[in-house]
Amino acid sequence: MENYSNYKDSQKGYVDIHCHCLPGLDDGPGNMEESLALCQGLVDDGITVAIATPHQLGKYDGCNEPEKVRRKVSQLNKELENNKINLTVMPGGDVRIDERISSFIDEDKIQTLADGGKYILLELPTRIFIDIEPLIVELAEKGIHSIVSHPERHPGLCRNIDILQKWLSHSAHLQITAASLLGDFGPEAQGSAWDFLSMGMVSFVATDAHNLRGRKPKMNIAYSEICNEFNLEIAHIVCMENPIRLLEGREILPVSMNKRNGIL
C-alpha cells in the first residue's frame, strides 16, 4: 500500500474513504494546484489519510484504470511531501455499478479501496433503482465487501429500506456523506442520512469532497453533529474506527442504536 508503513505511528485524525482528490481524472480537481488546495482542505478538516476514489466505469469506462490511479496517487503524495501537506493518499475507486465488476477486479481494471482487495466502493445510477443483491453476493463469495456510496442521495434507495437491509445481510455496508448530514444536498438527503444512522445501518461517514467550493470536506462538523445527536461512541465508530479498520483490512464494527442521545 502506498505510504502505509508510517501510517499507524502518525494516525491521529480521520481516514476519508471517499474523496475525489486526484488531478485531472474526473469531476474533482482539474490540475495539481487545485488538488493540493483540496488536500490542504482535507488536512484542515482533521483528515490524515484519504483514499482517492476517482470515478470508474459508467461514463468513465476505460479512463481511470488502476495502473493510472496508482501512478497519479504516487505523484500526488510526492507533491504533498514537497509542499509539507501532512496527508497520505491511498488508491481506490468510486465504481459505477456494472455487470462486469467481478471479472474486472480479477483483471485489475477497477480498484478496491486502498488496493486492499477486501472492500469496494459502489456507486448506483442516480435516476433508476437497481437491486444489486446478486452482485453483492458474488463479490462476497470472493471475500470482497461492498460499500454502497451515499445511499441517502438516491431516492429509490430511500424508499426501499427492506432492500437495503437485505444488502446489509450479505455483508454490504453503507457510506453516507458528511455534507448530507448538514443539509448540503437538500432536506430529503439530510433526513435520509440521519434516518439511516438512527437505524444503525451506516458503517462509514466520508467527505466525497471534490473541491473547496461546493463540495468541500466537512468531516469534523459532521462528527460533532453526530456526537450531539447520538453520542461520542457512535460518531467515533462511523467517522474514525471503521474507516481505520477498512484501511487495515480488518472487519467492520456494527453500529447498534438504542435511542437518540443514548448509549450503545
> How does pLDDT run across 123-132, given as a tens digit for each residue?
999 888 899 9
Q: Where are the beta strands (DSSP E) in 36-156?
A: 47-52, 55-56, 88-91, 94-96, 119-123, 145-149
The pLDDT value given to residue 9: 41
H helices present in the chain, as ranges = 7-10, 32-44, 66-82, 101-106, 133-141, 155-158, 161-169, 178-181, 187-198, 219-229, 232-236, 242-247
12 has a pLDDT exceeding 50: yes
Phi and psi at residue 103, to the nearest 5°: -70, -35
Task: Tell me the whole-structure pTM to 2 decimals.
Answer: 0.92
Domain ranges, ordered by start, for the chain = 7-247
151: helix, coil or strand? helix
The pLDDT value given to residue 157: 86
> For residue 113, what is the DSSP state?
G
> How does pLDDT run across 224-248, given as a tens digit for each residue?
999 999 999 999 999 999 999 999 9
**Residue whose C-alpha is closest to residue 15's, from 249, 181, 245, 174:** 245
The pLDDT value given to residue 258: 60
Confidence of residue 80 (pLDDT cuts 50, 70, 90): very high
> How does pLDDT run across 169-208, given as a tens digit for each residue?
999 999 999 999 999 999 999 999 999 999 999 999 999 9
264 has a pLDDT exceeding 50: no
CA distance 137 to 130: 15
For 205-217, what is the mean pLDDT? Answer: 96
Cell numbers linked to 117: 482487495
1 has a pLDDT exceeding 60: no
Cell numbers linked to 264: 450503545
Q: Average pLDDT, whole number, for the chain?
A: 93
Contact indicator for 212, 38 with CB cutoff of 8 Å: yes
CA distance 142 to 130: 21
Superfamily for domain range 7-247: Metal-dependent hydrolases (3.20.20.140)
Cell numbers linked to 68: 493510472
CA distance 242 to 247: 9
4 has a pLDDT exceeding 90: no
> With pLDDT > 90 as the criterion, what percentage of the chain qualifies?
87
Torsion of CA 108, 109, 111, 117, to 10 degrees: -30
The pLDDT value given to residue 261: 44
Which stretch of 11-15, 37-41, 163-167 has the lowest confidence by average pLDDT? 11-15
CA distance 124 to 26: 17
